[in-house]
Amino acid sequence: MEPVSVFGIVLLIIALMVGWRHYSLVSLHKELLQTREQLKQSENFANSIIETEPECVKIVDAEGNLIFMNRAGLDMIEADTLEQVKGKCVCPLVTSEYRDDFLKLTRDVCSGASGTFTFEMVGLKGRRLWLETRAVPFRNEKDEITALLGITRDITEKKKAEEAMAAEKERLAVTLRSIGDGVIVTDIDGRVTLINKVSEHLTGWTNEEALGRPLTEVFNIINETTREKCENPVEKVLRSGMIVGLANHTALIKKDGTEIIIADSAAPIKDRHSRTIGIVLVFRDITAQYRMEQEMQKIQKLESLGLLAGGLAHDFNNLLTAILGNVSLVKMQLGAEHRSFARLTDTEKAARTAAELTQQLLTFAKGGAPVKKPASLLDIAREASAFAMSGSNIKCFPTAPPSLWSAEVDRGQISQVFNNLMINAVHAMLNGGAVHLAFENVTVQEHNAAALKPGDYVKITVRDEGAGIPEEHLQKIFEPYFSTKTNGSGLGLATVLSIINRHDGSISVVSKTGIGTTFTVYLPALRDTLSPMTQEVEFVQPGQGKILIMDDDELVRDVAGVLLSELGYDVAYAKDGKEAIAAYQRAASEQNPFDVVIMDLTIPGGMGGKDAVKHLQAIAPEAKVVVSSGYSRDPIMAEYEKYGFCGVVCKPYDVGELGGEIAKIMKMGKQIVQ
């Protein structure tokens, strides 16, 4: 075998190398073709995903020019093809109010930021949409930011739902604001989730302050009478599952500590599955209504009390008439020199005080026109102060000039004035003290500060050393039912004002906290006239004539008859109006007429003085008739002349008053009937 030449070997090697090279290029080409196919498939796959994506996918450069947008995006902007909008700025499609913010987001994202933006857009064909876009930087293979990649979705329906919900919420808010009642909504744990404006006013809590707080903190309710806490309405509703209401006398304590009376109801809030998800509480302020009802109840009680007092005064004064009449008779028979005369005088005063208490009850219950007679205000004040301060550690220091004028007053009513003022003073000085009573004669001119008619008055000041009245209460103390005392009726000073007004006087008050209170009273005076009460021995005026006494009470008839007989009069009796008229006609026909007829105003079950005087004057216009009653509330007692009477005597009878009134009428001429 011939040896292989070197040249041949080289050729072989070259041949082999050329053959391998050819083989390698073929293989590489095949691999490249396969990779390109895979990439194309991947690109097609990606394009399919992007094109079928229901949300808009877009690529935008830093100036807002569109580089790419999928089919969903093209539909959003109402473009037919990508070529129609490619390379164009999408900013004009954004409504003007959002355009600047849209451009800012584009620039920020192209600078490396990310963001979300909600805006309104108008499509190429005019359709308006609400869109929400999420934008991130788009980077090339060198990790360089070349554009903005955005995913945008249509939220138009969501926006409409939100707007509808907002509108509904606004309507609800308007409704809640328009409701005149307070509304509080809580969750099932009893924490406040909403309160309306009325609730804010009634509770003192704002909506912001109340949110999340327990209802019992915002809606603090107690029983106004017992002062005990009321049960939480939320607990009552959750327990019963039904609408519940508050009990009567429920008071709401506001944030500032003040109280109002409320009426309310609480109801469960249920979802579509009838599950309780909260509680709604509706309440209103009924303080004014509640106070009015209380006042009406008080008025009804006072009316009942007035009827009771009227009957009591009538019957009680009849008994006192017999007692006082007999005491007066004994005094007349014994004379002023007898050692028992002073004791009998004290007995008279005690009996009169009992009668005045009855009259005070009448005035307190219903009031009434005063039956005025001359009296010593100093004496009345002394008696009232002794009564009011009995058992207390308060002393009274009265001062008055020796020539203090008397006044024409209803003694019982003015006694109540002093009594109420003294009781107020006692209550103001719980630790003891003194009441200073000062009397003086004054003549009031025109245009005076007290708005009184010009004339003569007795000025009385009642000054205590008590705690004083707060300034904010001074303007209210004379109002009916206003009281700072826990159990006070609020009628004391209102009654005082009413009595003084009926006497054509005035009352005013000044007070300083911690120093005391001074009441100033003006009452019309009888200048240079002293009251008979100041005289040690009363003068009993005798007389002559024939008197007819009409009264249903036998004791009253007997004692009045004995008194008048002792004074020198001839007396006859009648138990009602019919008997009196018949007796008067009979005496006139016998040429022995009665000079004066005393008629009781009230005859239970029979004709009283009001009707009897009309019938009598119809047949005998010259008749002189005196009205008598222990029930002075009736206006006839104060204005007797208007009803045909020519005089008045109040029960229980005072021998001096009775004799003086009869003597005065006996001197009168023929009665002039108007």
In this predicted structure, what is the pLDDT of residue 523?
A: 93
Place domain 179-285 in its CATH homologous superfamily.
PAS domain (3.30.450.20)
Give the class (CATH, top level) of 52-160. Answer: alpha beta
Helix (H) or strand (E) holding 182: strand 182-187
The 3-state secondary structure of 383-439 reads HHHHHHCCCCCEEEEEECCCCCCEEEECHHHHHHHHHHHHHHHHHHCCCCEEEEEEE
Name the segment(s) of the chain with CATH classification 3.30.450.20. Answer: 52-160, 179-285
- Calculate the CA 214 to chain-centre distance: 26
In this predicted structure, what is the pLDDT of residue 209?
A: 92
Strand segments, DSSP code E, in 25-81 are 56-60, 66-69
Characterise 8 by phi-psi region: left (phi > 0), alpha (psi -120 to 50), beta (else). Answer: alpha
Which residues in the chain show pLDDT less than 50? 1-26, 486-489, 531-538, 670-674
Query: Selecting from 3.40.47.10, 3.40.1550.10, 3.40.50.2300, 3.40.640.10, what CATH number does the domain 545-667 have?
Result: 3.40.50.2300
Name the segment(s) of the chain with CATH classification 3.40.50.2300. Answer: 545-667
In this predicted structure, what is the pLDDT of residue 534?
A: 41
The 3-state secondary structure of 472-522 reads HHHCCCCCCCCCCCCCCCCCHHHHHHHHHHHCCCEEEEEEECCCEEEEEEE
In this predicted structure, what is the pLDDT of residue 576?
A: 92
Residues 52, 44: Cα–Cα separation, whole Å: 12
**pTM score of the predicted model:** 0.43
Return the SS3 of 363.
Answer: helix
Residues 611, 601: Cα–Cα separation, whole Å: 9
In this predicted structure, what is the pLDDT of residue 446?
A: 81
pLDDT tens string 274-308: 888 888 889 988 887 777 777 677 666 666 666 66
Q: Which of 218, 293, 217 is nearest to 248 (CA)?
A: 293
C-beta separation of 238 from 276 below 8 A: yes
In this predicted structure, what is the pLDDT of residue 181?
A: 86
Structure token digits, residue 382 = 């002394």
Architecture (CATH level 2) of domain 377-530 = 2-Layer Sandwich (3.30)
